[in-house]
């Protein structure tokens, strides 16, 4: 593997990991994790509700602590790391973006469904006006053909994005699919390419390495694999692998190992592993943050959560349609109670 440029890591456990703990982060937890990441020389740390700024709601999950408090806490303890936020247009607004910038955030990742980049234009423009680094974040990238992905990425570039990410929100992409997507973007864009993986098919590391091999230089990881579904590419493991490959990240491997073991592990409610539910999410191509919602709906209606996830995949339900999870569960339960027609 050859790579001339340094790989820049964005640590997402304080955002994507929020899904895994039902958005229950405290100020103390965020302060400790962010401080340790900063001391390990992680360049970017993403902090917000799992569904981005203003995500705290009955539909997406209520936060224990207001995200602006968490962002402020993270900014306060970091000496070199830049704090980033995620914003999904339609959930977060321009006002939340301004508030985050006022707190000291340095990067905003504007996330849309892979076919809806056009809704990011004003948010990317404001990000630049505020003096922040702007990242286009194309979610559920497995749901669009390569040509469509290129078209949408070029739109984000035209709006002023400094980087565009291929986001495998469902952990559904296979290595050859990552390869063709990153390669196509490198051929058609003049800005850095990023990659965000989920581990639902146990391919996060493999897919990340393929992305880097094809020229991606902005990579997401979650320490201790703390992320939605089966988690993301495990940051401390990624650092070790990249060092073995002779690729520079500037991150202190020992400090990342210690952070994972001593600070993050106690936060996890259950170990991050590939369960039957997270496996089905990758298999069916379902948004990784649906996991806890599907489990709760399955309990409520006394049905198998895998049936809910498979049906959500069949209907191509995407992030922002969390209300469909309960509807689908109710439909499945009702269909099983109805007497068979003779």
Catalytic residue annotation: 19
pLDDT at 139: 96
pLDDT in tens, 60-74: 768 888 999 999 999
Q: Encoding tokens for residue 84?
A: 């980033």
Q: Is 336 annotated as a binding residue?
A: no
pLDDT at 340: 52
Q: Is 198 annotated as a binding residue?
A: yes
pLDDT at 338: 65
Q: Is 15 annotated as a binding residue?
A: yes
Q: Average pLDDT of 4-23?
A: 92
**Number of H-type helices and E-type strands within the chain:** 14, 8
- Assign domain 8-266 one CATH number from 3.30.565.10, 3.20.20.70, 3.90.1150.10, 3.90.180.10: 3.20.20.70
Lowest mean pLDDT among 139-148, 251-260, 289-298: 289-298
Q: Is 16 annotated as a binding residue?
A: yes
Task: Please work out, in degrees rounded to the nearest 5, the angle formed at the alpha carbon of residue 262 by the alpha carbons of 258 and 254.
Answer: 0
The rounded mean pLDDT for the chain is 93
Task: Report the CATH architecture of 276-337.
Answer: Orthogonal Bundle (1.10)
Q: Is 169 annotated as a binding residue?
A: yes
pLDDT in tens, 123-132: 999 999 999 9
Is 3 a residue whose pLDDT tops 70? no
Q: Is 323 annotated as a binding residue?
A: no
Please give the share of the chain, as a percent, with pLDDT higher than 90. Answer: 81
- Better pLDDT: 285 or 342: 285
Closest CA to 274 of 294, 250, 291, 251: 291
Cβ density class 229-242: b for 16+ within 10 Å, e for less: bbbbbbbbbbbebb
Global confidence as pTM: 0.92
Q: Average pLDDT of 171-177?
A: 97
pLDDT at 40: 98
Enumerate the domain spans of the chain.
Answer: 8-266, 276-337
Question: Helix 291-301 crosses helix 276-284 at what angle (to 10 degrees)?
Answer: 110
Lowest mean pLDDT among 134-143, 151-160, 292-301: 292-301
């Amino acid at each position: 593997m050859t790579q001339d440029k340094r790989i820049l890591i964005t640590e997402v456990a304080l955002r994507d990991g929020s899904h895994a703990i039902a958005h229950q982060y405290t100020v103390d937890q965020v302060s400790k994790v962010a401080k340790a990441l900063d001391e390990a020389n992680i360049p970017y740390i993403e902090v917000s509700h799992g569904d981005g700024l203003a995500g705290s709601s009955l539909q997406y999950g209520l936060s224990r602590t207001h995200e602006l408090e968490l962002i402020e806490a993270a900014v306060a303890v970091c000496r070199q790391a830049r704090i980033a936020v995620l914003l999904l247009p339609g959930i977060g607004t321009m006002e939340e973006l301004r508030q985050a910038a006022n707190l000291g955030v340095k990067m905003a990742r504007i996330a849309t469904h892979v076919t809806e980049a056009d809704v990011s234009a004003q948010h990317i423009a404001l990000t630049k006006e505020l003096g922040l680094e702007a990242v286009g974040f194309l979610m559920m990238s497995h749901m669009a053909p390569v040509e469509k992905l290129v078209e949408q990425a070029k739109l984000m570039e035209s709006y002023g994005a400094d980087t565009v990410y291929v986001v495998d929100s469902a952990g559904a992409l296979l290595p050859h699919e990552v390869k063709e997507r990153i390669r196509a973007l490198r051929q058609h864009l003049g800005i850095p390419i990023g990659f965000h993986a989920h581990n639902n098919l146990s391919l996060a590391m493999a897919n990340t390495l393929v992305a880097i091999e094809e020229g991606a230089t902005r990579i997401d990881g979650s320490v201790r694999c703390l992320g939605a579904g089966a988690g993301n590419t495990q940051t401390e493991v990624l650092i070790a692998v990249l060092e073995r490959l002779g690729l520079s990240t500037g991150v202190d491997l020992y400090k990342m190992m210690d952070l994972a073991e001593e600070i993050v592990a106690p936060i996890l409610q259950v170990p991050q592993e590939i369960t039957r539910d997270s496996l089905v999410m990758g298999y069916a191509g379902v948004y990784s943050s649906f996991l806890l919602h599907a489990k709760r709906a399955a309990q409520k209606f006394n049905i198998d959560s895998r049936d809910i996830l498979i049906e959500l995949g069949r209907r191509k339900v995407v992030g922002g349609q969390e209300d469909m999870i309960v509807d689908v569960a109710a439909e499945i339960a009702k269909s099983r109670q109805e007497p068979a027609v003779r």
